[in-house]
């Protein structure tokens, strides 16, 4: 796929997510964003992102769906919850990239569920804080299938100073 034909979804546009997603906009990616507090996405919308009122709608459209949420419980509800889970809405061949600092067990569950729906999934927590995110110098520790990691690292390199493959799902 050409960079400009890929739709990137980003859920969680707080301090870290806002800067990370901003780097993708600056590189010409088409971004659709969602945040529980819509005003936290205003700067991204001003930079060219489209705000979408529903995480499920982003999931249906995205070739790459990034999460940068607060807590593992948020990630679980957003991805695999029987009622709210997004994975079942994603298109086959899309990728889910979770940047939330979460648990290895949850990352393994998400990867298994994603595989059932033909979706690639990686857990990719970051280190470097808001300054690293702003400066595009995060260290991203990635767990997942090597082919999924390779496909997603192209995008993560735009806001990461280093992307490290740590192993399979849950190792990130």
CA–CA dist 92, 146 (Å, integer)? 18
- Contact criterion met (CB below 8 Å) for 121 and 114: yes
Read off the tokens for 115. Answer: 């595989």
Model pLDDT, residue 5: 81
CA–CA dist 142, 89 (Å, integer)? 24
Determine the average pLDDT of the residues in 98-104: 95
Instruction: Give the start-to-end residue ranges of the domains of the chain.
Output: 3-167
- Contact criterion met (CB below 8 Å) for 47 and 25: yes
* Residue 153 pLDDT exceeds 60: yes
Residue closest to 119 by CA, chosen among 68, 165, 67, 52: 67
Domain 3-167 superfamily per CATH: NAD(P)-binding Rossmann-like Domain (3.40.50.720)
- pLDDT tens-digit profile of 139-151? 999 999 999 999 9
């Amino acid at each position: 796929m050409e960079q400009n034909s890929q739709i990137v979804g980003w859920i969680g546009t707080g301090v870290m997510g806002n800067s990370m997603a901003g780097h993708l906009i600056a590189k010409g990616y088409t971004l659709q964003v969602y945040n529980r507090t819509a005003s936290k996405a205003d700067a991204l919308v001003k930079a060219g992102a489209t705000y979408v009122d529903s995480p499920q709608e982003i999931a249906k459209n995205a070739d790459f769906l990034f999460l940068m949420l607060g807590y593992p419980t948020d990630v679980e509800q957003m991805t695999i919850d029987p009622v709210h889970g997004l994975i079942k809405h994603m298109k086959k061949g899309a990728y889910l990239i979770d940047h939330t600092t979460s648990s290895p067990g949850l990352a393994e569950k998400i990867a298994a569920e994603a595989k059932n729906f033909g979706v690639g999934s990686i857990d990719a927590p970051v280190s470097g804080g808001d300054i690293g995110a702003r400066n595009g110098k995060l260290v991203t520790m990635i767990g997942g299938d090597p082919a999924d990691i390779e496909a997603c690292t192209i995008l993560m390199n735009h806001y990461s100073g280093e992307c490290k493959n740590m192993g399979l799902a849950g190792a990130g």
